[in-house]
Structure 1
């Protein structure tokens, strides 16, 4: 982008935004190169829809970053517009003032990031400052707005973002993470009030905060990035482009409705998926990867997908995002899945329990190391290791009928890491009756005999089983729904991949692909 405009920061060091530290893995500053890739994608779509017209040469197009942090999107958009409008507005200062006052707008997520964004865009923390490149503002904020917003508490949680009142009802000196853009039920009117006039944005673009830290605790913190995306859609701009975690494609608590909207709505025109987030944001690991999309208000059709994995870019034209309830990221995987589903067999979901199968939380303390009268074995994780304790039978109020049946316990979570091949799932436990477990496991049952349970365990360990799970498991958690595409088998034999490959007509190239993705798994020995 250095050759686009004479509008430069003279005498200053190389781009500070290329090396600025992230606030956290959930509030990630966007590298300039990544922001420019998104802008290139936007410009290509605009040209395709407007007889080759250059969006950066249009003085009427308006842009909003509703969650600006470093100001990189605003700055790069401004640079492009200032270059593109040169023939229409030859005077540089007049051109700069037009772009900065009429075309480029932002909402800071904190006071600090608003100042940083203004510094990136105006070369001054105040739009009216001595060193500001804009000369037509009469307000220090310019078009980068920030004021502390309040949560709307209902039943101890914010009605807009779900933040718990106990954590975020804070004094003024502490950040409360009430992001202005998603704390309004009438966003059009809200933006009109913020920017002092009737606003209709053509493009909404940005990198929103990913989750409400402290929302539920630890890895279960509440996702909020989808709230920014949905609010952007409510504005009905021509285009929306945002950076979000890829985990929405197959999982995420509270994201089912958002996923359906994205996959089935037909408006996602382009999707660029980084299976390893570090390829997009160096030094940052976001489980499941990262992606950016281009949403087109006026399109209703297939999507062009670019997948970036191990430094290799693969393009898939005209993918139907809504083919399934989750998105299968890789074309080869999709073909294998279709071969399995073609058999139209029932799923093993009928055997798999939901979360917390016996109502015993992971941090349950009311168990004993030694067996006492009336107690039964309890499989749990104790100090990071698998253990067996004992719990009173009368404490089990949920799924009590399965206590005295053969079952297979499968870990609810398993961190596979970012490199291939993965194991995908933790090792199983064939549990003889009577037995229960904590929330750390799901229960697969009932089986009439030990032999049936061991037959299922052999199936669970096959690469094909775990490959089918991997298509729906995008983070470490393997909830019941991740088993939806695994078909039922007869539990009268030891299952092997060779038997399954033959049954489902998996060819040699597909076998090689599966085995490059999924590593062998030995029996647990428990």
Structure 2
């Protein structure tokens, strides 16, 4: 590759690297552009490959190093292109191609590929920033014959499936999807295994996996979820998949309805034609899909009906996310009308007025969109889909991020409270590690399958616990009022006295957050304000605990620049990191006249060292860390996560003998809260000793 090509790939790496679905790739060395004639001749000499590197001449060593760098550049370029390449098969699978007079179709080529994908779908399925124009610059690096044959192979596999039995076709289509990759974190393709696990455990139906959902089985088995299964997969049911991307959810539902109807409508020995006709009826009468892009609509049509041209009730809903965000009533009104689902020729005055009743709504909603304006990161949107579905359907089951179950994350707090206290809503399954469900996607806080039923009442979720054993422990030990929680004696970071600081050092306004209005000693404040020194400059300087380059350290600052009225600055306290893993909390016993940055939280404002030592022992107990763990789902450890840890009396008058060891204090706490042998065993086995 010449210098221009290397520069192009270096720029493309910056774009591809910004998409979360692409792993890290190496850097392109723009100086390694090719071998000179002399280097090429040297590399043809047999001894250059046989001799130890030390015995080679400097020229030979340089030629080998240059060859190695060129190979590395080539491998890196291929890896960068892979960020685009992994998106292509799904688009090839769904693309609409013109049919020729003899029934054949034109091939997908590098030259017509962009024209087959509409701009909105291109933006959805390709890495962020890779436009059609950019793809045009890089298509020269693809082998046109290999590209063409890849498209032919994918489509022939899908076309061949149309000749199989219903069950065999489903197996073939699911195996094709197993080769596709997630476009991006915002567009997660749900694996067929997860679709089966999700729907079988929430609604029941005909499942294609064994009981552990590890292996596909030859004959699908009926899973019953009480009366729910019969209510959903009945003959005249209407099932809606919202945000359909692959059509696999609809495929599972269609087959489950097909089996119900086959038992009612087909004889003991139906012909293949009878089975195909019934499948077409199920697609036309029972299954409905909303898609976010035109290409998604084509993909789900291919999944459900192949190349047969059978009617599929799939609609591309324009500007879906924005509609649900700003005008959800428009979406609900439109989708709930019968006329929306009828072809123009099928519509009548009566159908224009009639509403659709959806017996069940299923799917995997989009999780987030990039924040706009001055905000950073991403904003959740899956809750908008849950809200809309609960207004449209009798039953709703989605798979989505689980942070809101712990009242954490960026979903609106009032929405979290609403769902956690909804008696019609329950958690079917929770995975703390999202990799157990989506192997290539990291979703902080885990993933959950939830179920909402308009006509059934469940116990409110309230405070969600990932282990059933924690429910009993929580009921016995968790405080019902904040005044009885350890949270009530926890304090955030030390603060500046900004009036004094900025009066004497107005230039420090740049190092203070919120345009000079943030009083907090932020996590990186040691690097931003040069007033912090390693040694005392004055007798009344105050020591501050903070972090520099991920290492704890102390710095000093003149007393006059701090807000001395802070609750525990002049008191004994226990300091714990605001963020930590699942192991040791990493607590520190602090003397009075010691402050701390926002990296830490302070427990207590004690008058005596003894009380602080007792609080430190309490924080180290397995009991306290178990109660903390109920609300702690990520490494983040804000004050709110300590809400369920009961407050203790840390004085000499306490009902706990704090002079004992931590393990003995645990036993006193188990007895105090009346924990059963099973609950004690759970804590002892699950929580590591400190």
| 2-structure distance, mates of 1:54, 1:185 | 27
- Distance 1:439-1:261 versus aligned 2 partners, 3 A rule: same
Q: Secondary structure of 2:544's match?
A: strand
Residue 143 of structure 1: how far off its partner (Å) = 1.3
Paired position in structure 2 for 1:353: 491
**Conserved 8 A contact 2:426-2:460:** no
| 1-structure distance, mates of 2:567, 2:404 | 35
CA deviations 1:100-153 (Å, max 9, x no partner) are 333322222345544433332333xxxxxxx2x34347xxxx51314345xxxx
Q: How does 1:260-299 map to 2 (within 5 A)?
A: 260-268=417-425, 271-299=428-456
Paired position in structure 1 for 2:177: 17
Paired position in structure 2 for 1:173: none
Paired position in structure 2 for 1:238: 394
- Distance 1:458-1:103 versus aligned 2 partners, 3 A rule: same
- Distance 1:356-1:239 versus aligned 2 partners, 3 A rule: farther
Paired position in structure 1 for 2:193: 33
Residue 204 of structure 1: how far off its partner (Å) = 1.0
Q: Does 1:438 align with 2:597?
A: yes
Range moving further from structure 2, 222-231 or 112-121 = 112-121
Q: Does 1:482 align with 2:641?
A: yes
Paired position in structure 2 for 1:328: 465
| 2-structure distance, mates of 1:195, 1:356 | 60
**Conserved 8 A contact 2:407-2:417:** no
CA deviations 1:211-257 (Å, max 9, x no partner) are 33447545xx433322221221122x111001122332223134543
Q: Does 1:185 align with 2:335?
A: no
**Conserved 8 A contact 2:251-2:303:** yes
Q: How does 1:242-253 map to 2 (within 5 A)?
A: 242-253=398-409
- Distance 1:46-1:210 versus aligned 2 partners, 3 A rule: same
CA deviations 1:345-394 (Å, max 9, x no partner) are 92222211258876233243225243445753332222222222344545
Q: Does 1:453 align with 2:607?
A: no
Q: Secondary structure of 1:497's match?
A: helix
Q: How does 1:99-114 map to 2 (within 5 A)?
A: 99-110=282-293, 112-114=295-297
**Conserved 8 A contact 2:365-2:400:** yes
**Conserved 8 A contact 1:114-1:146:** no
| 2-structure distance, mates of 1:396, 1:231 | 49
Q: How does 1:378-397 map to 2 (within 5 A)?
A: 378-391=544-557, 393-396=559-562
Higher RCO, 1 vs 2 (CA within 8 Å, ≥6 residues apart): 1
**Conserved 8 A contact 1:407-1:447:** yes
Residue 208 of structure 1: how far off its partner (Å) = 1.6
Residue 517 of structure 1: how far off its partner (Å) = 1.3
| 2-structure distance, mates of 1:259, 1:342 | 20
| 1-structure distance, mates of 2:340, 2:244 | 15
Q: Secondary structure of 2:265's match?
A: coil
Range moving further from structure 2, 9-18 or 459-468 = 9-18
Q: Which structure has the highest helix share of the two? A: 2
**Conserved 8 A contact 1:66-1:107:** yes
Paired position in structure 2 for 1:312: none
Range moving further from structure 2, 237-246 or 83-92 = 83-92
**Conserved 8 A contact 2:246-2:296:** yes
| 1-structure distance, mates of 2:224, 2:438 | 26
Paired position in structure 1 for 2:566: 400
Q: TM-score, normalised by structure 1?
A: 0.74
**Conserved 8 A contact 1:274-1:291:** yes
| 2-structure distance, mates of 1:26, 1:376 | 47
| 2-structure distance, mates of 1:252, 1:26 | 19
**Conserved 8 A contact 2:494-2:569:** no
CA deviations 1:168-189 (Å, max 9, x no partner) are xxxxxxxxxx455444230322
Q: Secondary structure of 2:667's match?
A: helix
| 2-structure distance, mates of 1:16, 1:333 | 41
| 2-structure distance, mates of 1:451, 1:11 | 67
| 1-structure distance, mates of 2:564, 2:186 | 36
Q: Does 1:42 align with 2:203?
A: yes
Range moving further from structure 2, 435-444 or 193-202 = 193-202
**Conserved 8 A contact 1:203-1:240:** yes
Paired position in structure 1 for 2:278: 95
What RMSD, in angstroms, separates the aligned Cα atoms of the two structures?
3.6
| 2-structure distance, mates of 1:85, 1:340 | 51
Question: Given the alignment, which residue of 602, 627, 630 partners 1:471?
Answer: 630
**Conserved 8 A contact 1:6-1:83:** no
**Conserved 8 A contact 2:543-2:555:** yes
Question: Given the alignment, which residue of 496, 502, 520 partners 2:689?
Answer: 520
Q: Secondary structure of 1:471's match?
A: helix
Query: Which entry has the higher C-alpha Rg, 1 or 2?
Result: 2
Residue 488 of structure 1: how far off its partner (Å) = 2.3
| 2-structure distance, mates of 1:207, 1:340 | 36
The number of equivalent residue pairs is 447
